[in-house]
Structure 1
């Protein structure tokens, strides 16, 4: 089975010039958790997920050496949570999107990208044909297409 046989063709996406606000609107409006980021030629240049947003709005723990033991320190933006939320809205999507994107070729076999989804703990993979975004495949798409009719 090949990628184009199981991919979702209607892909929600954002442009590299969009803001985090537009990303969040799509997440909320469509009940999704990740989007490919494309340039003006519809080429995949990045991917943004709900995890990327969480890393920006949450506080982070760090451990520092204090004399002879490690001490947990909350690190990151000193602003209040609500302030961090407001600050991120108008940032460009490319400031936090992952630029190294795992992609699937249009004619790739399912067993190859199923391994990537599992090993890399990725929820979705954009599908490209001739360098252009043409679809998206989720873990659920792989499960449904692989086991349909067997249960």
Structure 2
């Protein structure tokens, strides 16, 4: 499964010169936890998250309300996204394997990655997107695998698909090894399928 199969597009972005308040408002309106930050030409220059926006707005010391803190001074706290964003963000390509993206997210403790194609921002992929695609019931996976196989067979039922523990089991007759390979690939490309086992019936 590739990033292009699960990414969100078009992407909601925020200008680097936008105010922190407007970025927070956009996040709330779009129900997202992070936004790609772009320059005036639309080029990606960073990522800003809810925690970035809150960093200088919420006291780090639970007793801060008892005394003034320099970082809570309204005159010193950042006002623009540029001042709180994370520059040089990790990115993904549309054809990147989702497993590689998930590993990068965990290793770098990020929740979403902008997706670039030839330097252009084309989407964004989040941990939630990956979970939604990967955590699906065996029944749902079996129906989707069967549907893809039936479409390949021009609407007929040449193979039977079941799924157990995320592994697709395809049973039927095959014209040759090429056809068997195509069926295996079709089953494996269903989001959430962890593996494919093929049982070839005698003619």
Into which bin does the TM-score normalised by the smaller protein fall? Answer: 0.7 to 0.9
Q: Which residue pairs with 2:123 in the alignment?
A: 135
Which whole-Å deviations, capped at 9, do the CAs of 1:90-111 have from their partners, x for residues lacking one? Answer: x221011110301111211111
Higher RCO, Cα 8 Å, sep 6+: 1
Distance change >3 Å, CA 17–CA 78, structure 1 → 2: closer
* Cα RMSD, aligned residues only: 2.3
Structure 1 distance, partners of 2:137, 2:9, is 23
Structure 1 segments (4+ residues) deviating >3 Å: none
What is the TM-score with the length of structure 2 in the denominator?
Answer: 0.58
CA contact (8 A) 1:60 1:75 kept: no
Task: Give yes or no for the alignment of 1:116 onto 2:104.
Answer: yes
**2:82 pairs with one of 73, 94, 104:** 94
Larger of the two Rg values belongs to structure: 2
CA contact (8 A) 2:56 2:72 kept: no
What is the TM-score with the length of structure 1 in the denominator?
Answer: 0.77
- Structure 1: which 5+ residue stretches go unaligned? 62-73
- Structure 2: which 5+ residue stretches go unaligned? 62-67, 140-203
Distance change >3 Å, CA 22–CA 117, structure 1 → 2: same
